[in-house]
Chains A and B, each alone.
Chain A
């Protein structure tokens, strides 16, 4: 299982772009990179998933370099409501049947007015 490392906490201000980087040096060929967001007293929810290069949706962008040993979640123009914990996970597409997914401590993002 690929272990991930991400900063414990980050601060930002409303309207700024926030980039959270995750390291996953032992990522395997079948592994995808997935980011989740968790608000207090709620379950995590899926934000974005990618395999390589860049993925963008209505919420965020995910940048993955060619060696795939790291990834960066980019949140454009954050607001106070983006204050949450963000988890980076690496896991395969389910085909290898080895499981599992490891939710580390995540990155606590605090957005200030």
Chain B
């Protein structure tokens, strides 16, 4: 079945450490997105990518970095510069740029040790 796979499901970060969240899709979608969700809140856009080797900052990009070397992969790195990284991270994809519906993975929950 086609879909989006996020790994790991749970991740723990030590102070001062960078961690990378994986997002892989086999839907052959061009566009991919990363969102952050805090408890009881909606989703906030971190980064998005329209095509391979191209990506743009979303609303809360500070302290995060991404790469898009392959169409099916869009990893997110949470750097030590992100002072409040504890959240639920969601990856999504769409066939075209900001078309709908967005297809989501089941998220990665990041916590600080």
B109 within 8 A of A: yes
> In whole Å, how far is B23's beta carbon from the nearest beta carbon of chain A?
11
Tally A residues with Cβ within 8 Å of B.
26
> Number of contacting residues on B, CB 8 A?
28
13 CB-based A-B contacts, threshold 8 Å: A34-B100, A36-B102, A41-B88, A41-B106, A43-B91, A44-B43, A44-B90, A46-B102, A49-B100, A87-B42, A92-B98, A99-B98, A100-B48
Q: Whole-angstrom distance between the alpha carbons of A54 and B112 in the complex?
A: 46
Taking a contact as CB atoms closer than 8 A, the residue among A42, A46, A104 that contacts B101 in the complex is: A46
Contact A43/B105 with A100-B45, A103-B42, A104-B42 known, Cβ cut-off 8 Å: yes
Give, as a whole number of angstroms, the nearest-CB distance from A43 to chain B: 3
Pairwise interchain contact A43-B101, C-beta atoms closer than 8 A: no
By secondary structure, the A interface counts as loop
Tell me which of B4, B40, B58, B109 contacts A41 (CB under 8 A): B109
> Is B40 within 8 A of A105, CB to CB?
yes
Cβ of A105 and Cβ of B107 under 8 Å apart?
no
Among all A-B residue pairs, the 7 with the closest Cβ atoms: A43-B104, A46-B101, A103-B43, A94-B99, A99-B98, A103-B42, A104-B42
List residues of chain A with CB under 8 Å of any chain B CB. Answer: 32, 34, 36, 41-46, 49, 87, 89, 91-94, 97-106
B97 touches A94 (CB 8 A): yes
B43 to A42, Cβ gap below 8 A? Answer: no
CB pair B96 A94 closer than 8 Å: yes
Q: Is the CB of B104 within 8 A of A44?
A: yes
